A and B are shown apart, each in its own frame.
Chain A
Amino acid sequence: MEKIISIAGNTVRESIRSKILFSLLGFAVVLVLVATFFGAVSIGDQVVVIKNFGLFASSFLCVLYIVISGSAMLQKEINRKTIYNILAKAVSRREFILGKFLGMFITAMILLILMGAGLLLFVFLFTGQIETALLVGLYFMSLELLVVCSFCIFFSSVVITPILIALFTFGIFLAGRGAELLLYYVEQEYIESGLATVVKGLYYILPQLQRLNVNDLVAYGVSISDTQIFWSTMYSFGYSIALLALSVILFEKRQFA
């Protein structure tokens, strides 16, 4: 376990010492300020707009971090041959993959916590109270990031080019957010029966990220049941564990010729 933590720690340190994390944080501040402006000129409640836009910005920027930085993470190790020296120690490929995953997830969480704290403070300035419902939204976001990070590691373990890894990861994020549309098209019989089975199969394989997106509910103050929280947690962890197991199996077979 200490080896996994050490690899994860190095990954976090690399992200923190690079400029991308701070650039994204700066971008988040700009987005929230833009949301304030939109809130002021929109017809609805200004705070709802800020909450909605703030949650969206946090989620989007964390996914962007994973897509930009995470997708190059493993490939950088291979191209610079730093992985040789790590695997030359008594470190299994499983430990390496889990370390990289953990590092990527922790960095995304640091980003999420900082942006979440900023959003809570910003909303507090408007309402004078701490919106604890936002914490539930941030929790769901962390579950979504868990799945996206797992996909990034999965693609990194099989695909060679960082650009493709980034495209696939972002593609999965978009597909996961829109997966329910597939079921809708099948149920409304917009798709032919032969293809419908394939599309339905795809619906079950794709991560149900839309179910982990509770931004609107949180922004409008709709409460989320404990059952939903429990099953969403189980789903995200289950999906993530399955993907990581598959990543380890594939990475074990990889040749560093």
Chain B
Amino acid sequence: MEKELNSVEQAPAVKISNLHYDYPSHWLGRPTPALKNLNLEIPRGESFGFLGHNGAGKTTTIKCLLGLVTPRHGSCEIFGESSLSPQSRVAIGYLPEQPYFYDHLTVYELVEMYAVLAGVARHRRASAVNAALESLKIKERSGSRLRSLSKGLMQRVGMAQAIVAQPDLLILDEPFSGLDPIGRRDFKELLLALKEKGTTLFICSHILGDVENLCERASIMVAGELKKTLTVNQLAEGQERHYELVISNGKSDSSYLEAVKREQLAGGSFRLVYDSEQKARAALAGSLDAGETVESFQRLQVSLEDLFIQTVGESQGKR
């Protein structure tokens, strides 16, 4: 028994093994594969980005983790518990994509109801609800009916119900959708604070910049398959480096020849991208010698967005 408990205590936050899921067919049609042999492990305390285009299988993976669908093959574990057991969800907070809640309830009533369902003890329920509302800056709206709230406020309510029981694992499906810049900043600050406290974050998002800032590791899904998993360090160091030179008053065409990308900017300047430092420095020297004005010269880091587009493009090219 003790051994069993230890294994649960040491288990990763999320473990997905050989997961296959097919969308059920109607009548005699063939089922459509949604997830193909998905393997993923997220250690406790990690913030993980789960990326993919629409229909890549991100939400289906979340549904498997939440026990909303039963996989055809394979398993999902949350802190060592099978995701098919309700017990596995004791440690989960979940924010759905475009959350819709009971609009007959007030903000407070809704978060309180989810606190009950999440198993928050009666004596600390009121303080837990108030703390969640305060951290999302919606305490003053606690008496408002949900039907009167904007999309951004609804997203905040969604986050409040997700964190009300202080979960160890937070699964967020497009958490930044519908938020204004201030809302996005507040959400980022909150998520960073939760990360500091050791909460494991599982973030599905299309806004790759946010994932890049928040996550230590990210995976890219394409058509139900996990195509690439990389850490932030890998992203910064392991990728091909490019150099960008922006010049104005361009006179000579010689420096353009070696550029892998050339474009004219709105103000009449030219943006040149080189795939080696040597070529870029030669172009820089050439431009200075020709009396052109160098507006900027910098090394470009391949962004998660570039990598995402590249990975999806490669996969679509293969198909």
Q: Chain A interface (Cβ within 8 Å of chain B)? A: 2-3, 6-7, 9-10, 13-14, 17-18, 80-82, 84-92, 255-257
Name the CB-closest residue of B to A5. B116
The answer, among A3, A10, A81, A257, for a CB contact under 8 Å with B23, is A257
Q: Kindly provide the distance from the CB of A14 to the nearest chain B CB, expressed in whole angstroms.
A: 5
Q: Which of B34, B89, B102 contacts A88 (CB 8 A)?
A: B89
Q: How far is the CA of A135 from the CA of B67 in the complex (A)?
A: 46
Given contacts A13-B105, A257-B23, A257-B60, is CB(A85)–CB(B114) below 8 Å?
A: yes
B87 within 8 A of A: yes
A11's closest neighbor in chain B, by CB?
B102
Q: Is the beta-carbon distance between A90 and B104 smaller than 8 angstroms?
A: no
Alpha-carbon distance A17/B67, docked complex (angstroms): 31
In the complex, what distance in Å separates the CA atom of A13 from the CA atom of B100?
Answer: 17
Report the bound CA distance from A164 to B86 in whole Å: 30
7 pairs of residues in contact across A and B, judged by CB atoms under 8 Å: A3-B119, A82-B100, A84-B96, A87-B68, A88-B89, A90-B86, A257-B23
A-B pairs, 3 with minimum CB distance? A88-B94, A89-B117, A256-B68
**Cβ < 8 Å to A, chain B residues 271-301:** none
CA distance A17 to B89 in the complex (A): 31
Distance, CA A86 to CA B96, complexed state (A): 11
B68 near A84 (CB under 8 angstroms)? Answer: yes
Q: Say yes or no: A89-B70 contact (C-beta < 8 A), given A10-B105, A256-B63.
A: no
Contact A90 B23 (CB under 8 A): no
Max chain B Cβ within 10 angstroms of own Cβ: one of A13, A18, A82, A90: A90
Give min CB distance, A17 to chain B, whole Å: 4
Which B residues are CB-close (under 8 A) to A87?
66-68, 89
CB atoms of B87 and A2 under 8 A apart: no
B residues less than 8 Å from A81 (CB atoms): 96, 100
- Compute how far the CA of A188 lies from the CA of B113 in the bound complex, rounded to whole angstroms: 57
Given A14-B104, A18-B104, A85-B114, are A255 and B69 neighbors across the interface (CB < 8 Å)?
yes
Beyond A88-B89, A257-B24, A257-B60, 19 additional contacts (C-beta under 8 Å) are A2-B116, A10-B102, A10-B113, A13-B105, A17-B104, A81-B100, A82-B101, A84-B68, A85-B96, A85-B114, A85-B161, A88-B66, A88-B68, A88-B96, A89-B114, A90-B118, A91-B89, A255-B70, A257-B69
Residues on A with C-beta less than 8 A from B109 are: 13
Instruction: Say how far B24's CB is from chain A's closest CB, in angstroms.
Output: 6
**Residues of B contacting A9 with CB < 8 Å?**
113
**A90-B118, A257-B60 are contacts. A85–B89 as well, Cβ < 8 Å?**
no
B92 interfacial by beta-carbon distance below 8 Å: yes
- Is B209 interfacial (CB-CB < 8 Å)? no
Q: How large is the interface on B (under 10, 10 to 19, 20 to 34, 35 or more residues)?
A: 20 to 34
> A257–B161 Cα gap in the complex (Å)?
23
A252 to chain B, nearest CB (A): 10
Chain B 100-152 interface residues, beta-carbon cutoff 8 Å to A: 100-102, 104-105, 109, 113-114, 116-119, 122
User: When A6-B116, A13-B104, A81-B96 are in contact, do A90 and B67 touch as well, CB less than 8 Å?
Assistant: no
Q: Indicate whether B99 reaches chain A with its CB closer than 8 angstroms.
A: yes
Give chain A's interface secondary structure class: helix
Q: From DSSP, what is the main secondary structure of chain B's interface residues?
A: mixed
Known contacts A90-B90, A92-B86; is-contact A82 B102 (Cβ 8 Å): yes
Cβ of A33 to closest chain B Cβ, rounded Å: 31
Q: Give chain A residues whose Cβ lies under 8 Å from the Cβ of B100.
A: 80-82
Which chain B positions have C-beta within 8 A of A13?
104-105, 109
Q: How far is the CA of A18 from the CA of B90 in the complex (A)?
A: 32
Complex alpha-carbon distance, A84 and B90, angstroms: 15
B117 near A91 (CB under 8 angstroms)? Answer: yes
* Cα-based distance from A257 to B21 in the complex (angstroms): 10
A90 to B165, CA, bound (A): 11
Contact of A3 among B66, B67, B117 (CB under 8 A): B117
Please indicate the chain B residues that have their CB under 8 angstroms from the CB of A10 in the complex.
Answer: 102, 105, 113
Q: Please, which residue of chain A has its CB at the minimum distance from the CB of B87?
A: A90
Taking CB atoms, residues of chain B closer than 8 Å to A6 are 113, 116-117
B67: which A residues are within 8 A, CB to CB? 87
Give Cα A7–Cα B113 distance, bound, in whole angstroms: 8
A92 contacts across to B, CB distance below 8 A? 86
Nearest B residue to A79, CB-CB: B100
Chain B positions within 8 Å of A80 at CB level: 100
Q: State the CA gap A257–B70 with chains docked (Å).
A: 9
B66: chain A residues at CB < 8 Å are 84, 87-88
Q: Which residue of B is nearest A83, CB measured?
A: B68
Interface centre among A2, A14, A87 (most CB of B within 10 A): A87
For the complex formed, measure the closest distance between the CB of B69 and the CB atoms of chain A, giving whole angstroms.
5
Q: Which residues of B contact A256 (CB under 8 A)?
A: 63, 68-69
A3 and B24 form a contact (CB under 8 A): no
Chain A nearest CB, measured from B98 CB (Å) = 9
A91 to chain B: closest residue by CB: B117
- Chain B residue with Cβ nearest A7: B117
Residues of B within 8 A of A91 (CB): 86, 89, 117
A77 nearest CB neighbor, chain B only: B102
A85 near B101: Cβ-Cβ < 8 Å: yes
**Contact residues in A for B119 (Cβ distance below 8 Å):** 3, 89-90
Q: In the complex, what distance in Å separates the CA atom of A88 from the CA atom of B173? A: 13
**Residue of A81, A82, A85, A255 ringed by the most chain B CB atoms within 10 A:** A85
